[in-house]
Amino acid sequence: MSAPVVGAKRVAGIIGDGPWKSPAFETLAAAVAAAITDGRIPVGARMPSERELAVATGLSRTTTGRAYALLRDQEYILTRRGSGSVVQLPSVPGGRIDHLLSPAGADETEIDLTCTAPVAAPDILGAYERALSKLGAYLPGTGYYPSGLPVLRELIADRYSRRGAPTDPAQILITSGSLGGTAIAVRALLDVEPHEANGRAGSSKRVLIESPTYPNAIATLEGAGAALVSYPLEFGAEGHHWDIDAMEQLIRQTHPRSAYLIPDYHNPTGSLLPESQRPDLARVLRGHGVVPVIDESLVELGLDEATPLTPMAALIPDSVTVGSVSKIFWGGVRIGWMRIPRRRVDHVAASRLGLDLGAPVLEQLVAAELMGDHDTIVADCRTRLRAARDLLAAQIRDWLPEWKLIVPSGGMALWAELPESRSGVLSIAARKHGLRLVAGPNFAPAGGLDRWIRLPYTVPETELAQVGPRLAAAWDDAKSMTRRGPTGRARIVA
């Protein structure tokens, strides 16, 4: 497919309009390189011509020409006759890190900030005991429930209905976590008849995905054969946000079949798609025949007072929604679900049988038990996360005041902007100081984001209180390191 075009006005809006420190061509090139590294100008996009950028920035054609020449020398753009200048990332000796599971088993002195996962809810053990007492009723059967236990499907369908998306239990499919649901949904959606492929050859395999986003979702989509179309979230004074007009322009250029979106306390930024934009997003996706997979894994984790927002399932009848108990009850339960449009239930269920034959019965019973006390458990989880978020934010502001930090209204992590593009080397330096970190490029579908770092606040309070001094010491080391850190992506737990 042809590379999506980033217009001159948009580039100027991203990098600013000066003043341009002399020599201006170096300042301009540095601004464009920083935007590429941060993921604001996506890899694979076609830059405007030198003349167009000169007009948009108020600089001379000579200045933009020299800036492009410098960007070519630094391998941030590749220019071919007739194809223009396409954005890329500089080559890395040894290649970029692939989707590898982050090593586990940190020793007792280390603080592991690689995973956004809570400790177990207080009643987990009791829920297992009650579930075990009910397991006997299921033992005479085969134990296979590809659609899920009826009792759990009914509870989940009821919650969707009460949120404003009327749902029949037959529309619910129980999976092994939300990632399992994503894998099933994407495989089913990409397995379409030619007349459903938006009228473009190959478009049936394209999936729109936000940048940054959840790293394991990137691996899952690619594993399903998807060709990823990266949509960079905007960044401003209020944090990351969605520009629906820019998304629509990208959709028009690339014609994706599906999309993977996290509108509710987005991972990793914590951003929340406001109520006012939800109908606009729905209109764009419906109008262009894009069937989205909406990840609601974090939808319960609004930490500040806020009115519940309309679920996207109520606005896009043809959408698939995935959710999970991992973020509110405990990751070890490993139970997730899909809410599927009625007309797609049979097709999605058949696709599921190509991956597995259902989630474990005992864990489904445990999830049903926990759902019975859902509101109390979630309220306790929110209270703990709110205090942890505020503690970690205070740590960063006290120890690293030069870092830019916008505290999210929900979710499980802070997404901090570094003064320099050094999250890769920071993740290396941190190990010496007893911290495990995940560098920003892990969250980038098309590379970049080395200026960002995700900092979960799900570890115990005693550990959070030590993050500030350890992170500050690691940052001091990272600033003096000449070795580049990993700029590719590594699969992480959550």
What is the CATH classification number for the domain harbouring 381?
3.90.1150.10
330 and 222 part of one domain: yes
Domain end position, chosen among 372, 394, 420:
372
Domain end position, chosen among 344, 372, 400:
372
Query: Is there a domain that residue 100 lies in?
Result: no
292 and 357 part of one domain: yes
Domain CATH code at residue 207: 3.40.640.10
228 and 241 part of one domain: yes
Domain end position, chosen among 357, 372, 387:
372
**pLDDT the model gives residue 94:** 40
pTM: 0.85
322 and 422 part of one domain: no
Query: Is there a domain that residue 473 lies in?
Result: yes
256 and 189 part of one domain: yes
Q: How many Cα atoms are found within 13 Å in the side-chain-facing hemisphere of 215?
A: 25
Query: Is there a domain that residue 94 lies in?
Result: no
- Cβ-proximal residues to 174 (8 Å cutoff; 6+ apart), any chain: 145, 147, 148, 149, 152, 153, 335, 336, 337, 358, 359, 364
423 and 349 part of one domain: no
**pLDDT the model gives residue 278:** 97
Query: Is there a domain that residue 127 lies in?
Result: no
231 and 315 part of one domain: yes
Distance CA 376, CA 103 (A): 34
Amino acid at 272: L
Query: Is there a domain that residue 105 lies in?
Result: no
62 and 149 part of one domain: no
* pLDDT of the chain, 494 residues: tens digit per residue: 566 788 999 999 888 877 888 999 999 998 898 788 767 788 888 999 999 999 999 999 999 999 999 999 988 999 887 778 999 887 754 433 333 333 444 455 789 998 888 878 777 888 898 999 999 998 988 888 989 999 999 999 999 999 999 999 999 999 988 888 889 999 889 886 544 545 554 567 999 999 999 998 998 899 888 999 999 998 888 888 999 999 999 999 999 999 999 999 999 999 999 999 999 999 999 999 999 999 999 999 999 976 789 999 999 999 999 999 989 898 888 899 999 999 999 888 888 888 788 889 999 999 999 998 899 999 999 999 999 999 999 999 999 999 999 999 999 999 999 999 999 999 999 999 999 999 999 999 888 899 999 999 998 888 999 999 999 999 999 998 765 555 555 555 56
357 and 450 part of one domain: no
312 and 272 part of one domain: yes
320 and 399 part of one domain: no
**Domain span including residue 409:** 111-120+376-480
171 and 257 part of one domain: yes
Q: Total domain count for the chain?
A: 3
Query: Is there a domain that residue 129 lies in?
Result: no
Domain CATH code at residue 32: 1.10.10.10
| Residues facing residue 260 across a β-bridge | 209, 293
Query: Is there a domain that residue 444 lies in?
Result: yes
Query: Is there a domain that residue 153 lies in?
Result: yes
